[in-house]
Structure 1
Amino acid sequence: MGILVNIDNGGTFTDVCVTDGERVVHAKTPTTPHDLTQCFVDGLRTVSDRLYGEEDMARLLRDTEYLRYSTTSGTNAVVERKGAPVGLLVDSGAEGDVYGIVNLVDASLWQAMVPHPPVGIAVDADGSVGLEEFTAAINELLATATSRIVIALRSVDAERAIKNLLLERYPRHLLGAIPFTLSHELVHDVDDARRVLTAVLNSYLHPGMEHFLYGAEKACKANGLTRPLLIFRNDGDSARVAKTTALKTWGSGPRGGLEGSVAYASLYGADVLVGMDVGGTTTDVSVVVDKALTVHAHGRVESAQTSLPIPDLSSVGLGGSSVVEVVDGRIQIGPRSVGAAPGPACFARGGTDATVTDALLIVGALDPDNYLGGDLKLDLARAERALVTRVGEPLSIPAHAAALAVLRVFEEMAGSALKEMISSAGREPRDAALLAFGGAGPVLASGIATAAGITRVIVPHLSAVFSAFGIGFSGLAHEYSVPMPGTGAGVSAARDDLLARARRDMFGEGVSIDECTFETRNRFISGGVLRDEAWTSGSLPDTAGGKADRLVVRASRRLPTFELAADQRGTVQPATADGSRCIRLVDGEEQEVPVYRPENLEPGQGAQGPALVAGDYLTCLIEPGWGFRVSSNSDLIMEAQR
């Protein structure tokens, strides 16, 4: 097996996780929002140094069998309203409400995506359009200097008629060719508003994603990568750049953590596993029930429903870089974040806002000399100054008390998010285990679990890069679906059409059709949640609950994944501490606690809290009343002492 490289480009850090089949190495580099290609290359260079003992990105890429990449570029474009403006063609008379979309999407997002009023065109009963009216409508759209045109008519036949006219008068080989999207070709959704929004969002993201991802692939190929760069998507699968839909990159980073959570639910036999990814800007919470994710049929981008299925994930504006302040006499954390630049005050990069990371440093949970493996030295004095100014003085308390108060508020807020997610799945916290990952997840895990009423916590040994690790469980795949036809003949014809599309796209991925698996499923939508059943040939897909909503074809090819070691629990042997550190967890009083280096811990070893497990990229705080053991997979299993 060649080298497997997985990259998760987050808002604050870009994580790289690499395996050569015998060992796993990883790296974290600061995300460079001004140029995401830079942090992509920085991550590859850093991890090559750790793999080979010297920086050699070209060698790493030559040795790479698969490189899977999740980018925050699409998410950033939506959040910052920096996508490409879209021109919109709709049925005449619908320009004002565009089939009800005004009730679906935030006005600021819609204005950013479609800055000029939609243009209407009359459609005849047979789906045809007049040539003169077509020409006038297209010229009006082109006059607005939009980057792409979305054809979003109620009639699929009318959209095809427009497509034929566009290709006839603006053929693709000419410089004046018009980039356009047909809403019915992108998604088969009978809801006009969702279909329009999905098509507009995709076109809004497409130019920037195209430029960036092809640029990243070009950089990889220039340095020796012989395979296509694979883009990890929010549906949990990967595909080459040319076969990736721009909108499916939105929120793809958190989906990596979800894939890892599903794998860990199976590894540890957890019937209810709550995934908690505490990053620099947000805390993403998910729940895996009976080894499966809950997938919403109409996933949301911000508050707006789209036509694409997206797993249930709650994102809260709480992270290590979240700004802390006092409002009306109460501590408030987030949602504003200092991000990677300037970062928390303790980063000494010009930031003066107090953050959760500053609070963790003040209570002693973080080692100022070994943050990010020693690549970044933390400034305790700056952290104290920021926290005293923003929290201590308004509340008339010293720095240590302010820091501890901030952490307790964070724990309560995150704990509430966990309880809400567990409740939405119809389960109780006492029945759940918490999977804590992300840069700040493990250090806060036992306190958050206590606040949520959870008594078991799993901290992956690759928790700092767990979303990148989770990307490694994705396959090379494409999925297609249409509304379920009403006759057996219609089902067969639709299935044949979907299979043809699947074979075409898998061929385009450069893999042999003989290596691919093709599955047909009946998809039911109940309460907005998806449920799939195997398709049976020769009959309409009916169940006691009624006729299936959609016919689905999935084409996939397995890719190599990380190996996980099944847990063999035995008698816990006392671990030997590598040192000690003074922390302030109870009433601000200083307490010396043992510190264990994770690389020196063996499976089967453990200890009682208070304690710290602290390495170059992992800091796990075991609070009083908790203990830990090391699993066969080298993960930390923390349990509340009864």
Structure 2
Amino acid sequence: MKRIGVDVGGTFTDLMYWDEEGSVSVHKIPSTPQDPSLATVNGVQQLADEVGISVSDLDQFLHGTTVATNIVLEHNGSDIGLITTEGFRDILHIARKKRPLNYSSYQDLPWQKWQLVRRRNRRVVPERINAAGEVLVPLDLDAVREQVRELVSSGVRAIAVCFLHSYRNPVHEQAVKRIIEQECPGMFVSLSSEVAPQYREYERFSTTALNAFVGPRVSGYIDNLAETTRDAGVRGDIRLMTSAGGLISSRLAADNPVLLLTSGVVAGLLGGCAIGAASGHPSVITLDVGGTSADIGVAPDGKLRMKHLLDTRIGDYHAMVPMAEVDTIGAGGGSIAFVDAGGMFRVGPRSAGATPGPACYARGGTEPTSTDAMVAMGWLRADSFLSGSMFVDPQLATKAIDEHIARKLDTSVEQAAIGIFQILAHAMTEAISLHSVRKGYDPRDFSLVAEGGAGPLYAWHIAEQLRVPRVIVPHHPGIASAMGLLSTDIRVETPATVWTSSTDPDLDRIAAEFDRLSTQAVEQLAGDGLDPSEIVLERSLDCRYIGQGYELRVPAPPGEIDAEWVARTAEAFHEVHERTYSQRFDDKPVHLVNVRVAAVGKVGHVPLADVEAGGPDASAAVKGSTEALFWTADNQPKTFDTPVYDRALLKAGNVFAGPAIVEQFDSTTIVGPQQTATIDRVGHIIIETAVSTEGGQR
């Protein structure tokens, strides 16, 4: 079995190869934003050549992508149409009537300013199905045909269909789909009964429209990539990472691209979970810092947390699909530093990206970035980028910082460079706090896994600020997301609304829906080539107290669905509610809203092998030294004669003190002053603070 994982980021495309003999190889090339598939295919070919195989020898191609995410964030999706029930034309415009600024009379509502569907393309037809799934008003097929023809003539590239209560009875939506296929074969169609088959009116409309908004471009990208890899001889289908942390087939991804909205981001968290487990520290906070953004995830005991329905958003839009608890901020190696019109020193979220990139790349960029700051501080040396294969000019970095920051603030280049680093590090620290401390988790109970090309440059300082006891820098931090692709299973999840109470449960309906969803999920994976005997089913429910507005996910108890099963479900909900909100109400009835079934097809995960053992002495790995800039306790610049280690020469058991720099192909690691680094048995760098200092400053 030969497998390759490819994660496409905004600046770099990361690749990891693994085979059944335990051979692991990594590769990293600049992304091609104009066509992400170019970097993907080129990278696969280069990595195959490097390990001495043909692309046709690959059995599995696993992929994480930000294509769908970027379309939504950049508001450049397809022109789409919407067909809905009479009287519900403006659901997407009204939304939940919440406003970003409660007391401002002058504000843009994002979902209205950047509409997923322009009003002239939102069409209504006579039909009505009630909440029990009964047809009250038959669908007017002639009206549907007329509206479809008008939408097609207006030039829409996709049509979303969302009728009231179609989650209970999809017959009308299915009829519309047949008419669209007759009138315009090849049109991308998004049905709410297929994309989000559960109650909640606005969220279902928004999710269905989002699927259509990104559909043509994402499906075109997937189809093009699948065709290109087939032509290259890759055996088997492309598997893509979903927002819920599982892999799905290219066919399912092309039909439901809304499932990919946080694809690459989740892969990094999964990689972090595997890394933490291998080092004996399963509870992890992952910090994946790339060129344009930083992704932050929290996994207690190495288990993914799913986002609450209120948080399953992408940009300005609700997306009612399962999403793992990972969040992104605009902070990365390409984050641009500037002094704004009010004289405020700021960094990001605007990024230099892959093109033109930081000033030091000598590709036309003139504005200073966080990468330029670390080059000026001596942390990133001119010959350290991608093992010297990428040119870096320190003079350009210093010039950019001097012209755009130091002169405007009347300070030194050194102080300005430190400021750029600290401002961006503070943004990451606050984001980690938001997703740990404020959600009931103590960072001191976790390890911080540094991922991405820039994560190991920031993690040492952030760990001090949050009092995280250790930083884990994996063997290939810049390829962690690609590793995550090789450390997860094939997974599909489908929901259904049951809407019943623990005091008067509809046991037959609950059982029927679980059976239907189970059959549907198994058939879906079996259709993708998996043996049904290897598929594991996971059941869960969305529950709340009667009168509450939103649900919490609860694992479904095993056994026959009877009164005792409902009682165990209610008890499980009480426990989840208490853990989430620190209180429970045992005397209150529990509302069982949705049931869910996830079908999981187990695949082999990449094992992390032990590395060669050595003693505590790490001097054999030192390849030189450099003057590196840090700071004192009162935040004044201080230069240290800092040893530079070759990551490839470090052995298990090696110990060295900071400040230190560790260089490797895909990243550079900083060990701060008063910190100690140890190489564990699988080659991870474990960084711990030897002497605590107030605020983590030097």
Q: Distance in 1 between matches of 2:612 and 2:233?
A: 41
Match in the other structure for 1:4: 3
* TM value normalised by structure 2: 0.86
Matches of 1:224 and 1:135, distance apart in 2: 43
Contact 1:170 1:177 in 2 (8 A): no
Match of 2:639 in 1: 590
Aligned to 1:140: 150
Task: Tell me the equivalent position of 2:139.
Answer: 129
Using the alignment, how far apart are the partners of 1:170 and 1:201 within structure 2? Answer: 19
1:391-540 equivalence runs, <5 A = 391-484=405-498, 486=500, 487-524=506-543, 529-539=552-562
The secondary structure found in structure 1 opposite 2:530 is coil
Indicate the larger mover: 483-492 or 327-336.
Answer: 483-492
1:314 and 2:314 equivalent?
A: no
Aligned partners of 1:77 and 1:205 also within 8 Å = yes
Q: How does 1:211-290 map to 2 (within 5 A)?
A: 211-244=220-253, 245-270=256-281, 272-290=283-301
- With structure 1 as the length reference, what TM-score do the two structures score? 0.93
Looking at structure 2, the residues matched to 602 and 34 of structure 1 have their Cα atoms a distance apart, in angstroms, of 41
**Structure 1 Cα separation of the partners of residues 630 and 176 of structure 2:** 70
Instruction: Report the CA distance between 1:293 and its aligned residue.
Output: 2.4
1:294–1:477 CA distance, 2 compared to 1 (3 A) = closer
Secondary structure of the residue aligned to 1:247 is helix
Aligned partner (choices 647, 651, 661) of residue 612 of structure 1: 661
Which position in structure 2 is the counterpart of 1:153? Answer: 163
1:323 aligns to 2:336 (yes or no):
yes
Match of 1:563, SS? coil
Provide the secondary structure at the position in 1 that maps to 2:491. strand
Instruction: Give the Cα separation in 1 of the matches to 2:683 and 2:666.
Output: 15
Task: Find the counterpart in structure 2 of residue 72 from structure 1.
Answer: 66
> Is this contact kept in 1: 2:611–2:683, CA < 8 A?
no
**Paired residues, what number?**
633
Aligned partner of 2:197 among 188, 192, 214: 188
1:371 to 366, 379, 385: 385
CA distance in 2 between partners of 1:48 and 1:634 (Å): 24
Report the Cα offset of residue 425 of structure 1.
2.9
| 1:561 and 2:572 are equivalent in the alignment | no
Distance in 1 (alpha carbons) for counterparts of 2:47 and 2:408: 44
Alignment of 1:348-367 (within 5 A): 348-367=362-381
Q: 1:317–1:528: structure 2 CA closer, same or farther, 3 Å change rule?
A: farther
What is the distance in 2 between the residues matched to 1:591 and 1:384? 19
- Contact 2:272/2:480, CA 8 A, preserved across alignment: no
Q: 1:547 to 1:175 in 2, by over 3 A?
A: closer
Distance in 2 separating the partners of 1:119 and 1:474: 41
Q: Tell me how far apart the structure 2 counterparts of residues 601 and 187 of structure 1 sit (CA, whole Å).
A: 50
CA distance in 2, matches of 1:102, 1:427: 30
Report the residue type matching 1:505 in the other structure: Q
Q: Please tell me whether the aligned partners of residues 236 and 259 of structure 1 are also in contact (alpha carbons under 8 angstroms).
A: yes
Q: Which residue in the other structure is 1:600 paired with?
A: 649
Displacement of 1:99: 8.3
Q: Give the share of equivalent positions with the same residue, in percent.
A: 24
The alpha carbon displacement at 1:640 in A equals: 0.3
1:464 and 1:318 mapped to 2: Cα distance? 16
> How much does 1:566 deviate?
7.9
Give the aligned residue type for 1:506.
Answer: L
- Secondary structure at the aligned position of 1:537 is classed as coil
Contact 1:603 1:630 (C-alpha < 8 Å) held by counterparts = yes
Mean alpha-carbon deviation: is it higher for 496-505 or for 178-187? 178-187
What amino acid does structure 1 have at the position aligned with 2:427?
M
Contact 1:522 1:535 in 2 (8 A): no
User: Which residue in the other structure is 1:89 paired with?
Assistant: 83
CA distance 1:106–1:569, shift in 2 (3 Å): farther
On the 8 A contact 2:514/2:597 being kept in 1, the answer is yes
Does the 8 Å CA contact 1:86/1:115 hold for their aligned counterparts?
no
Q: CA deviation at 1:411?
A: 2.2
Q: Is contact 1:116–1:144 with CA below 8 Å preserved after alignment?
A: no
Identify the residue that residue 55 of structure 1 maps to in structure 2.
none
Deviates more, 1:622-631 or 1:270-279: 270-279
Task: Check the 8 A contact 2:278/2:682 in 1, yes or no.
Answer: no
Q: Deviations over 1:58-109 (max 9, x none)?
A: x442221211001111112112222212111122222234484263782367
CA contact (8 A) 2:45 2:55 kept: no
The 2-side partners of 1:317 and 1:24 are apart by 31
Contact kept? 1:72, 1:253, Cα under 8 Å: yes
In the aligned structure 1, how far is the partner of 2:611 from the partner of 2:186? 58
- Residue 296 of structure 1 aligns to a residue whose secondary structure is coil
Counterparts of 1:456 and 1:98 in 2: how far apart (Å)? 46
Q: 1:543 maps to what in 2?
A: 570
- Show CA shifts across 1:136-188 (max 9, x none): 33333333221122111113278523532552x5555x764654332123212
| Aligned amino acid, residue 584 of structure 1 | L
Partner of 1:56: none
- The equivalent residue for 1:116 is 120
Query: Shift in Å at residue 49 of structure 1?
Result: 3.3
In the TM superposition, residue 441 of structure 1 has moved relative to its aligned partner by 0.7
Question: Is the contact made by 2:276 and 2:447 (CA closer than 8 Å) also made in structure 1?
Answer: no
- Gap runs ≥5 in structure 1: 53-58
Q: Secondary structure at the match of 2:514?
A: helix
SS of the equivalent of 2:59 reads strand
- Per the TM alignment, residue 567 of structure 1 is displaced from its structure 2 partner at its CA by 11
Q: 1:428 to 1:97 in 2, by over 3 A?
A: same
Distance 1:177 1:128, change over 3 A: farther
CA 1:123–1:302: 2 relative to 1, 3 Å? same
